[in-house]
Amino acid sequence: MAERPDLHARIAAQRERRAALGRARVRRTVTRRDGMRCEVDGRWLLNFCSNDYLGLSQQFAVVNALQDVAAREGVGSTASHLVCGHHAVHDELERELAEWIGAPRALLFGSGFLANLAVVQALLGDDDLCVQDRLNHASLVDAARLAGCRLRRYPHADPDGALRQLRGNPDGAALLATDGVFSMDGDIAPLRELALAAQAQHALLYVDDAHGVGVVGPDGRGSVAAARLAGAAPLQLATLGKALGGYGAAVLGDADLIEHLAETARPYVYTTALPPAQAAASLAAVKLARREGWRRDKLLAQVAQFRRLAAQRGLELLPSDTPIQPLLCGGDAQAVAMAAALEEQGFWVAAIRPPTVPEGRARLRVTLTSLHAPEEIEALVDALAVAAERVGIAPAAMPPRNTGAARGVQLRP
């Protein structure tokens, strides 16, 4: 009998390969936060890689809601929703989310990853089909693989490709799944065209709008609302951990579909409900996101300023009107070197490498928030131009100006 592979040896070989390719992943420890400034491994940096788009994670009303409910209800929900873990604040949060997004019902989950797995597993079986955009989030891809259905993928943002995949696999039920806002490119899916493709092939359209809800569309209701689809997208996902600043997610949509998930989805039935205090914080964040449109207005202005200044400095960004602003670096080593050069200048921007993005598409993923000041964005663009020139990615179109503290950008609170 052949000897079994040694898992420790396999892991060591994989680690060596990642290191050789410049793809080692290292956790950074945040000691303290003050708005968009973070103390990281003992040094204060200006954070441009957070998904806290509306600046709600430290907003006093959100924090107060968490503290107040924790003082009354304790730390945890103590059970799954279907046992004794469903509290009144969970109910209130689901109703508030459904009213905001304009959906009949909402159902809370512990994370977006769990929510996507729940949707695909509960709706599709071995003989069914899941058609997905090539750049969909890993949670959607893994959900289809774990569900055991047939997974077919189409070229990025290509409705004709989606239609071909649906036509080419006519048997069984079908789900057409796409990100609303793509997390690494920042562009928005062509939802109206995808909805037509799904309708033509009797497939259900599911939109993971983790990076859209709170940021795009009327009143921040997301990419589905921006596309004016209403009932044409029977299910969509909203995260609580990005623009809303908290943790968890919700699936929203058709009441019958939501009830089916609540009764059968394994990631819902067999896991502990969100802590009531966390739900209370998210409820406060949703109310702020609905009421304070100035946060989105400011964010749009930040995006326009960043793109204008980047173009002036010869920095080629991917096309995106959202807070996700990627700067392609090509190779993994260049992306890592760019991130390191930025950190030397006091800026924290993550280098994103394969397998998170396709081969040869390593990048800096700059994210903007309503808490960033115009002078901080200007300083970041200056630092990016200097770093790009140093690494040899793109020459700066203009001579570098003074950055950081010289223009009043304080990296220490």
What mean pLDDT is predicted for residues 304-329?
95
**Residue 89 CA to its chain's centroid (Å):** 25
Peptide bond into 355 cis (omega under 30): yes
211 marked as part of a ligand binding site: yes
pLDDT of residue 335: 92
> Is position 306 annotated in a ligand binding site?
no
| Cβ-proximal residues to 291 (8 Å cutoff; 6+ apart), any chain | none
Indicate if the pLDDT at residue 385 is higher than 50.
yes
Reply yes or no on whether the pLDDT at 404 is more than 80. no
Q: Which domains, and CATH codes, for the chain?
A: 24-53+293-407 (3.90.1150.10), 60-291 (3.40.640.10)
pLDDT higher than 80, residue 126: yes
Rounded CA separation 126/146 (Å): 10
Kindly indicate the confidence band of residue 412, based on its pLDDT and cuts at 50, 70 and 90: very low
Phi and psi torsions of 47, nearest 5°? -85, 120
Whether pLDDT at 4 is above 50: yes
List the structure tokens of 326. Answer: 């990627």
User: β-pairing, 37-40 with 43-47?
Assistant: antiparallel
Distance between CA 141 and CA 243 in Å, rounded?
Answer: 23
Read off the pLDDT of residues 324-381 as tens digits, 9 standing for 90 and up.
999 999 889 899 999 999 999 999 999 999 988 988 899 999 999 999 999 999 999 9
pLDDT given for residue 24 in this prediction? 82
Determine whether the annotation assigns residue 90 to a binding site: no
Which carries the bigger pLDDT value, residue 72 or residue 391?
A: 72
Residue-level pLDDT at 230? 77
For residue 234, which phi and psi values (nearest 5 degrees)? Answer: -60, -25
Give start and end residues of each alpha helix (H) in 313-392.
332-344, 374-391
CA atoms within 13 A on the CB side of 188: 18
Q: Is 33 exposed, middle or buried (0-12, 13-18, 19+ CB in 10 A)?
A: middle
CA nearest to 20, candidates 377, 336, 388, 400: 336
Two structure tokens written together for 80: 């799954």
pLDDT band at 391; cut points 50, 70, 90:
confident
* Angstrom distance (rounded) from CA 35 to CA 326: 22
Torsion of CA 230, 234, 237, 238, to 10 degrees: 30
Question: How much is the pLDDT for 217?
Answer: 96
Residue 400, pLDDT above cutoff 80 = no
149-169 pLDDT, tens digit each? 999 999 999 999 999 999 988
Q: Check the annotation: does 113 bind a ligand.
A: yes
pLDDT tens readout for residues 190-243: 999 999 999 999 999 999 999 999 999 999 999 999 999 977 889 999 999 999
C-alpha to C-alpha distance for 315 and 181, rounded to whole angstroms:
22
Q: Is 33 annotated as a binding residue?
A: no
Largest CA distance in the chain: 70
Interstrand relation of 249-253 and 235-239 (parallel, antiparallel or unpaired): antiparallel
N-to-C CA span, the chain: 64
Report percent pLDDT > 90 for the chain: 83
CB 335 within 8 Å of CB 364: yes
Confirm or deny that 272 is annotated as ligand binding.
no
pLDDT of residue 394: 55
- The more confident residue out of 135 and 411 is 135
Average pLDDT score, the chain = 92
List the single range of 38-42, 183-187, 232-236, 330-334 with lowest mean pLDDT.
330-334
For residue 241, the one-letter residue type is G
The percent helix, strand, coil of the chain (3-state, each to 5) is: 45, 15, 40
What's the CA gap between 123 and 35, in Å, rounded?
41
Is 239 annotated among the ligand-binding residues?
yes
- CA distances from residue 86 to 245, 255, 269, 320 in whole angstroms, order as listed: 22, 18, 12, 39
70-100: pLDDT as tens digits: 999 999 999 999 999 999 999 999 999 999 9
Q: Quick one: pLDDT at residue 202?
A: 96
CA 306 to chain centroid: 20
**How many Å apart are CA 286 and CA 148, to the nearest integer?**
35
